[in-house]
Amino acid sequence: MSRVCDICGKGPSVGNVVVRKGSPKYKGGIGLHTTGITKRRFLPNLRSVRVTDGKGNTSRKCVCAQCLRAGKVTKA
């Protein structure tokens, strides 16, 4: 199963995990220092739902939760 929404095409996006060490300045410390940055993936919230098209046919599609809440699909 690919991690892409069948309706809007939303897929994984990338970001960073930032590890910081130290005490913040507003708490009286010397400040936060970055000690490591690694890559991470943000995956879409996909749901497998049965969807009806305009002709009355049903099929199973992977739909993101945002499309379900917006009403872009009609459930079977």
Give the pairing type, strands 46-52 and 58-64: antiparallel
Rounded to 5 degrees, what are φ and ψ at 27?
A: -100, 10
Instruction: Categorize the per-residue pLDDT at 1 as very low, low, confident or very high, splitting at 50, 70 and 90.
Output: low
Question: pLDDT, tens digit, for every residue of 24-58?
Answer: 999 999 999 999 999 999 999 999 999 998 888 99
Helix, strand, or coil here: 49? strand
Q: What residue segments make up the domains of the chain, in order of their start?
A: 13-70
**Whole-structure pTM value:** 0.76
- Are 51 and 76 in contact, with CB atoms under 8 Å apart? yes
